[in-house]
Amino acid sequence: MRRTRTLAGIGIAATALLALTACNSGSPSTPGGDAGGSTEAPSTWFEVATDVTLDGSPTFDKMEKADKVTIGVKEDQPGLGYLDVTTGERSGFDVDIARWIAASLGFDEDKIEFKPIASANREQAIINGDVDYYVGTYSINDKRKELIDFAGPYFITGQGLLVAADAPEADKLEDFNGKTVCSATGSTPIQNIKANFPEIKTQEYDLYSACVEDLLNGKVDAVTTDQAILIGYAAQYPDDIKVTGGLFTEERYGVGLAKGDTVLKDHINTLFTDGGDIWQAIFDKNLGSSGIKVDQPKVD
């Protein structure tokens, strides 16, 4: 019931992005829907490249053969990767980054297949070729780099805490010793808690939205994951839950790619580096009113 409430303040006019594209032939921009997306057809956001060649990229060869791109995403993280089940519209910073990459490879919105993949299943989905690339709050780290490659980083946040609105402020994870903290299986925050905070009890789900549900129902004392994700949930339920404390880690988001596809990796890194104002426009549209202050990071 409460879950049907949508994130306020994220639906921003697409004018900033529209202004950047050459292919929008004067169709009026429409302010976005509640959950963070514009009602303007996403295909007008970015100019779709033509005659793209990416010699030596097995992933791009596969996309060309399939005449589509398959992108792994999250769909329960408002502001970052979100699916509005009523309208079928996908929105969020990560989703727009994914669309921007697709457009740079020559794929319009109607040639994109989005696949929701939970945190624990990302590496395997990339290894299996179930997705061509993954854009969804995916932290770059050495363990994951043994299995896959990352382009980026394209965003930086850190582990934070979400608690009940009437709970005392907390500024360190140890404040939850003896209490129960919820996070997603396979995520860096749950790994951090298990490895370094043995006195904290944990509850795990595939999806953060299940943790938020438990927090709203008083079944857990806190949800922990990247603060950028938690801010999206707090905005959905401002009377019930709040973000507390600072950032406990540094999480650098990358685009997950098949290991060894350096041609695709270099293509995406060049896009990020030479993309002009597009990164900022995507940020402003999706997270501009969230209170998050972050500049585009330099790629590795």
What is the contact surface with ligand GLU in residues (CB under 6 A)? 119, 136-139, 184, 187-189, 225-226, 251
In angstroms, give the least distance from the CB of 184 to ligand GLU.
Answer: 5
In angstroms, give the least distance from the CB of 116 to ligand GLU.
Answer: 12
In angstroms, give the least distance from the CB of 249 to ligand GLU.
Answer: 9
DSSP letter for each residue of 28-90: PP----TTS--SS-GGGTSPPP-S---TT-HHHHHHHHHTSEEEEE-SEETTTEEEETTTTEE
Output 38 or 225, the one with its CB closest to ligand GLU. Answer: 225
User: The tokens of 47 are what?
Assistant: 């100019």
Give the side-chain half-sphere CA count within 13 A for 21.
Answer: 24
Contact 294, 157 (CB under 8 A): yes
User: The tokens of 294 are what?
Assistant: 């972050």
Chain CA centroid to CA 133, Å: 13
Output 106 or 152, the one with its CB closest to ligand GLU. Answer: 152
In angstroms, give the least distance from the CB of 128 to ligand GLU.
Answer: 19
Q: Write down the residue that tokens 């089940």 correspond to.
A: 85
In angstroms, give the least distance from the CB of 93 to ligand GLU.
Answer: 13
Q: Which of 54, 89, 45, 117 is nearest to 277 (CA)?
A: 45
Cis peptide before 28 (omega within 30 of 0): no
In angstroms, give the least distance from the CB of 187 to ligand GLU.
Answer: 3
